[in-house]
Every structure is written in C-alpha cells, then in structure tokens.
Chains A and B, each alone.
Chain A
Amino acid sequence: MTTHSSPMVRGNIAGLADLRGSIVERFGTQVSQFRADGNFILTLSLTELNALPALSRFFFWEHSCLFGGIIAEEHPRNWQIHYTFLLLGAGWINVELSMPLEATILPSIVAEVHAADWHEREVEDLFGIHFENHPRLGDFVLHDQIWREGIDPMRKSFAARRPQLERKVDLEWQPLLIVGDPGSFAMPIGPVYEGGIGESLHFLLETVGEDVIRAAPRLFYNYRAVEKIAEGRSILDALLLAERFAATSAFAHSFAFCLAAERIAGVDVPPRAVALRVLLAELERLRHHAGAIAAICESTALAVSAAQASIIEEQLLRASCAFADHRYLFGLNTPGGLNRDFTSEQCETLLLAVDKAEKDLRVLEKRLRFSSSFLDRLEDVGVVTRENARDLNLVGPIGRASAQSCDLRKACPYSGYGRHGFEVPYETEGDGYARLRVLFAEAVQSTRLIHQAIDKLEEGPVRVSCEVSRPGFALGWAEAPRGAALHWLRVDEKGMVERYRAITPSFNNWLGFHVAAEDFAFQDFPIILATFGLSGTECDR
C-alpha cells in the first residue's frame, strides 16, 4: 500500500548545477541572475513576466518543490515580488520579479500551482495587484460587507494607526453561493459559535439535504494586520507581534522570526541556546498535539478520553509554566538566543513531566484503538487523497497523514535539527484516523527530541548580542506544530522593520479543508474540523 518514496534525499545540492542548466535550457533569456546567498540556494530574476506560470510549474511539479508562498514588497519606485519554493533536501529557491509601481497586473500561476490560490488573493486584497486569469479575486482578507474595494492597507501610503471612519456595513451584501440547484440551501456556521467555544471562523455549508456539497471557509475575522503594524517598529517590538499573533504555536513563530533577524545580523547563536530552542519547540509541539488529540476526542463525544487527554494537556501547560514561567512559552526567544537560562534541576523536573505525558498518551492511544464507536467516526471520514494533498501543498501533520512527508526539520534543517536523531512519521490513508495517528506518533518523536536536546546541553551563554544595524532581508523558517512556518523580514538602515511577512501552516492548510469536508454528512463536520486542528488566528495574523 505504501508507495512512498522519501523525498528527503541528501545531496540534492549536487543537482543544483544540473537544475541551473535545465533552467537555462528551458527558459533561456526569460530569467537572469542566478545567485546564491545565505537565505536562498538559488535566486532567479525573471525578465519576462509571462514565463512565471511555466517556471512555477517547472519547480512545483517537475522538481517536486514545496511551494513556500508569495511575498510582495513595495519599494519607493518598484514592486518586488518573490515566489519561494523549497527544493527538498537542498534549500529555498526564490523567483523574484520587479515591476514599476504603476504596473499592477501579474500573470496568475493558480492554473499551474493550485496552492498559490490564496496567496494571490491575499496580495490582490492587500496590495491591489491584479492577477490575470485568477478565478476568484476580492472578498478575502478584507470582507466585502465592511470594506469597500480599493483600500489596499499594505501599501506604504496607507496609515495603519488611523481608524477608518468612513467604513460602513453593506446590508445588501450576499455571500457567493456555488450550488445553485433548486432545493439547495446554505447553512452558515460561525463566526460566533453556537454551543461550545470556538475561534472566529465562518463556514458556509451548501447542501440539498444530508450531505455537505460545498464547504467554503470564510476566514480573516481575526485579522489584526500584524504585518502592517510591524512596519516601522524595532525588531524587538515586531518580535512581540510575531510571537503573539498565534499563541498556540507562539514559540515556533518567534523561533522563525528570530532566525530571520539573526541571519540579517550575521550572528551565530551559542550552542546552549540552540539546544534549548529545540527543547522548547518540541515541548510546544508535544503540548499542541496533546491539545489537538483532546479536541478530536471531544468532537466524537467520547467524554472520558477527552477528559483524560485534556488533563495531559493541562499538565504539560503547567510543566511549561513551572519550567519557563509562561504557560504558552511567551517571552523566551530573542534575537541572539534566549532571554533566560535553565538549571539542570529544572530540566530534570521537565523531563519527568514530559515522560509522564508520553506514557499517558501511549495508554490513551491504546484505548482509543480499541474503541469501535470512536474509530467509526474517524475512519474514512474527511479523506484528503495523496494527490489532493500534493496539489494543494498541504503541510504539517495534515500533509503527513496524506503521505506528504515534508518536514522542515528534515527537509531543510535549521537550528541544529540536523544533528538530532528522529523520524518523521507519516500515513497514507489521509482520513481522520490517519491524522490522529500522526499526532500520536509525532508526540513520541518530540519526547525523543526533548531527551536528546537535554543530553546535548553544553555549558555556556544562552545569548549573544544581536544588533541589526545594516539594511537587509532574510527568510526564517521553522516547523511549527501545524506545519511549515516562514517569516520574511526586511529591515532598513536604522534596523527598523520595513516589511514583515509571516506565511503560516494554517494559511496553507485551510485551503485544503474543503476537500476533506465536502461530500460528508453534517454530523461529520465538527469531527473533520477537529482532525484538521487548524487555527483561524494563525491563518489570519
């Protein structure tokens, strides 16, 4: 059944020369300036805009690259747009293009790379750049019933701190419905949840009766324009935003942000901090996965298992707090290392809690495996096929449950992950049960990594000075609990943030949610939602 060929082949770097050769052969003068720097193994400047779709196809499909995302930047005289791809086992590739500010039309790459869909919609909504041949633009980040078209908040001329008083609610606004058959109707869910506690998400479930035919999520209710208000701030102030836009994966995001800042400053983090960061990132992953498992148990109404899983989660939250003085690991990362050190006694105490959590999770998994009514709700429900997962570039545990074994910790190691021994568990079925199994297996791997990180702790400082005093840009990446997180940072000559962009795993994966939710009955919807375990606020920023 498993036909998985691991793409994590080392030595793709050697193939880089061949890659360049084939690009020249295929695209000739349409691209220029091949260069490598600390961020990207390959940066291409596109001279012919129309080559963009073909070039995207070349990387995404022919070379099996992961699509990183689109980063748009407004400079005083021109636009600079970056399309990032990850060549597995080698590093990031940047296709950049530049065009004058007056030009606001780009060819869309959605027909070739479906995963770029939301990236293009976001750029269109926030910058006002139009993508030719994109099937559906508008009404994305800025909801059409409260924002008129033509407001482009990410443009430099837009004042972020000024309230928009001329805003009016459009009472005539109607959502776009896809199913038009007689007898069909749409059932709205959210953004304020009826029953239980939920994030602000909105779903329009279109149906003719029992089965959900179309499930379109409407997100960005929690959009706080983090990327916009970070502009003009110092790196430390922007770090506060990067850490706190999504608290359940706060450490991973501040991690990626700090890696970017350190790359700009050209600073190497001391070995003790490198190991401690791995420890803390894995502690966060373990706690997140315990929470995700608890949510899945709760969605199936198996009360005892939900209670036991949430006890494990709360014990891990308490252990985090006893260890690092914050239940969600805020305030630890700083450019240049960590804000504080830990004693070996503290590490020992943490290990006890982590081992206990792992043991409890193993017991829970064993019991769940023999709970037929529980498995009935998960098996063959919310299936994302391997092809769909690849097509939509799903990352993290969701991707890995559909045989996409990409994990940045292996595919593009950062912060000493290359030195640790761990596995990237994956499944092939792509249903809710596969996602649950991946969560359990990853929690075990995280425990392994925590042990290794503590074993490898060297004596020494945990922080070096990291002054950013020259202009520059950098890409920082980390495997957040929900998948690949990318943070793009550009600073000016005073060390202030000029452009900050966070590409989050939830943003990537919400795009694929409809695939799982469609063609299933209404009562499966909360379960599919729980097995996806996505965060609205991480997507919205």
Chain B
Amino acid sequence: MSFWFWHGLRKGIQTTRYPRRMEVALGVSPGRPINTRFATPEEAQLAAEICPTDAIVAHGKSTFVNHGKCVHCQLCLRSLRSPMDWETGYEWTHLPANQRESFPLPTAFSKSMHIMVVDAGDCGACLHEVKQLNNPLYNMHRLGFFMTATPRSADLLLVVGPVSESMRGPLLKTWEAMPTSRKVIAVGSCAISGGVFGKSFMCAGGVGSVLPVDFEVPGNPPPPLAILHGLLVVAGRKSVKIPEPISEGRP
C-alpha cells in the first residue's frame, strides 16, 4: 500500500495561498449582488420587486442589498433587463445588524482556535462548505484552526442553519457548555435571517434570536473561502469588511 504515499506525493501541493494571496481560481466563489445605481428609479424598483426575500431595497435610483437576506437565486442577475452589479470576491464577513462592533478572540487564540460546528436545521450546503475547509485545497489546519470534539475545549461556535425548534435545545446546551471567552459566528443567510425558511412554528429565523452572535458570514451558501475569512476575522487576523459606498456609474 506504499503506492498511496507516492500517489499523494506526486499530486504536489494544491493548497490555496489565501490569506497570503487572494485565490483567483475559477469557481471558488459564486459572487453576489452589490448596491447598484440604476439609470431610472423604475429599474431600481423592478430590482427590488423581483427579490423573493426582500434583500434588495430601492431608494430612488439606487438599490441597497441586505446580504444577510440574499439567498442567491440570481433573479436580479438573470431576469432583469438591467441587472444588478455583481461582485466576485469572498471576503464578506460582517457584523450583525444593529451591532456597532464585535471583538475578535484575544491574540493568544490567533494561531490556535478550536471550533465547534452545530448544524441547526441547515439544508446541507453550508455544512458541506464548512467540511470543505478540511480538504487539501483549503486545509485550515495550516492556519491553526481545528474542529474540536467537545464544546468544553471550543473557542468558537460556528452555527449553520436557521435554528429549527428541535435543534434549539441542543444548540443552547452546546453554547452553555463552552468557556465564556466563546465567540459565535453565524454562517449562511439562513443562520443570519432565516433565509428562505423565515420564521415559523418550527424555525427561529436565525441564530441571532437564540444566541448573541459576534460575526456573520453571508452567502447561500458562503463558499469555503468566505467561511475561512470569517474564521480569520474571529482570530483577529483579518478585519471586518467595511460596507461599500454605492457604486457610481454602470458599464
């Protein structure tokens, strides 16, 4: 079975250079709509109306995107005569709405952070993208991030999913079992705003209504690099994205 050794060696290093350099391979991120300035207020209104989750708000000729609600249906890109502007990055981590600031973990954790992942009613996409962080292309171990086996030794609680009623209890118990220097990061639009599921008798409509959230990674699902950016923010090695001014002029 020594062939595995040679097989692995022959493949060489495939890991991304991020965060030292930006990863530019095709398909690492689906991108997302950004605040757009249209030629007429009617076009802006149309963009706001087509959004199924009310993530786009029109104000005069401009539209503003609430990324925590965007479910990446691409209707504002494909079904409009004048589509929304589209951004192709992945450094999307932001602060929860109505929250001025959040502090990262103390510097002692910046190169060794243990993460507890809880699936709270996720559709599988966000969880799957979190899993991808362990594959050789992203390899988060090289950055000192580890998935941990128990909440007792976890520094960060990573929650995906809109918090279903059956997972509310287990999620709270996990949070309570963590040491109090804990941080909470909500990954995915469902974990931020409930996404397509919203609030219902079975769904809390976001982690924020159950736990205090420190950082949010928007996206449906956020690609692995966006989640990695979120982890780097919690570790204090990247800063939170400052909201962009509305783009002027359209191509």
**Which residues of A in the span 182-205 have a Cβ within 8 Å of any Cβ on B?**
191-200
A67 within 8 Å of B by Cβ? no
Interface segment among B55-63, B98-106, B191-199, B234-242: the answer is B191-199
Q: Which of B11, B122, B165 has the most CB of A within 10 A?
A: B165
Interface segment among B36-44, B129-137, B210-218, B243-251: the answer is B129-137
B89 within 8 Å of A by Cβ? no
**Who on chain B is nearest to A240 by CB?**
B196
* Contact (A229, B200) CB under 8 Å given A200-B120, A307-B135: yes
Q: Do A367 and B3 touch across chains, with their CB atoms under 8 A apart? A: yes
- Residues from chain A with a CB closer than 8 A to the CB of B149 are 194-196
Where the two chains meet, the residues of B that have a C-beta atom closer than 8 Å to any C-beta of A are 1, 3-5, 7-8, 11, 14, 25-31, 52, 71-75, 77-79, 116-125, 127-132, 134-138, 147, 149-151, 161-162, 164-167, 169-171, 173-174, 195-203, 220-221, 223
Determine which of A195, A241, A339 lies in contact with B196 in the assembled complex, contact meaning CB atoms within 8 Å: A241
* Closest-CB distance, A323 to chain B (whole angstroms): 8
**Who on chain B is nearest to A535 by CB?**
B124
A310 within 8 Å of B by Cβ? yes
What's the dominant secondary structure at chain B's contact region?
A: loop
A373 within 8 Å of B by Cβ? yes
- Residues from chain B with a CB closer than 8 A to the CB of A192 are 116, 118, 151, 170-171, 173-174
**Who on chain B is nearest to A320 by CB?**
B27
Q: Do A302 and B25 touch across chains, with their CB atoms under 8 A apart? A: no
- Residues from chain A with a CB closer than 8 A to the CB of B203 are 224-225
The 5 closest A-B pairs by CB, nearest first: A318-B27, A247-B125, A321-B27, A310-B135, A195-B149
Q: Do B201 and A310 touch across chains, with their CB atoms under 8 A apart? A: no
Where the two chains meet, the residues of A that have a C-beta atom closer than 8 Å to any C-beta of B are 143, 146, 153, 158-164, 167, 169, 191-200, 220-226, 228-229, 236-237, 240-241, 244-248, 250, 291, 294, 302, 304-305, 307-308, 310-311, 313-314, 317-323, 325-328, 330-331, 339-340, 367, 370-373, 535, 537-538
Q: Which of A320, A339, A371 has the most CB of B within 10 A?
A: A339
- Residues from chain B with a CB closer than 8 A to the CB of A307 are 8, 135-136
* Contact (A245, B123) CB under 8 Å given A162-B201, A225-B202, A327-B223: yes
Determine which of B4, B123, B165 lies in contact with A305 in the assembled complex, contact meaning CB atoms within 8 Å: B4
- Residues from chain B with a CB closer than 8 A to the CB of A326 are 30, 72, 74
* Contact (A222, B121) CB under 8 Å given A191-B167, A236-B52, A325-B31: yes
- Residues from chain A with a CB closer than 8 A to the CB of B221 are 247, 327-328
**Who on chain A is nearest to B205 by CB?**
A163
The docked-state distance in angstroms from the alpha carbon of A191 to that of B167 is 8
The docked-state distance in angstroms from the alpha carbon of A531 to that of B136 is 22
Q: Do B169 and A146 touch across chains, with their CB atoms under 8 A apart? A: yes
Q: Do A246 and B119 touch across chains, with their CB atoms under 8 A apart? A: no
**Who on chain B is nearest to A219 by CB?**
B166
The docked-state distance in angstroms from the alpha carbon of A322 to that of B28 is 8
Q: Do A321 and B30 touch across chains, with their CB atoms under 8 A apart? A: yes
Q: Do B1 and A373 touch across chains, with their CB atoms under 8 A apart? A: yes
The docked-state distance in angstroms from the alpha carbon of A19 to that of B143 is 65
* Closest-CB distance, A337 to chain B (whole angstroms): 12
Q: Do B8 and A222 touch across chains, with their CB atoms under 8 A apart? A: no
Q: Do A330 and B78 touch across chains, with their CB atoms under 8 A apart? A: no
- Residues from chain B with a CB closer than 8 A to the CB of A196 are 147, 149
- Residues from chain B with a CB closer than 8 A to the CB of A373 are 1
The docked-state distance in angstroms from the alpha carbon of A331 to that of B70 is 12
**Who on chain A is nearest to B209 by CB?**
A163
Q: Do B119 and A331 touch across chains, with their CB atoms under 8 A apart? A: no
Q: Do A143 and B166 touch across chains, with their CB atoms under 8 A apart? A: yes
**Who on chain A is nearest to B129 by CB?**
A327
Q: Do B73 and A240 touch across chains, with their CB atoms under 8 A apart? A: yes
- Residues from chain A with a CB closer than 8 A to the CB of B170 are 191-192, 200, 221
- Residues from chain A with a CB closer than 8 A to the CB of B151 are 192
**Who on chain A is nearest to B133 by CB?**
A197
- Residues from chain A with a CB closer than 8 A to the CB of B30 are 321, 325-327
- Residues from chain B with a CB closer than 8 A to the CB of A327 are 27, 30, 129, 221, 223
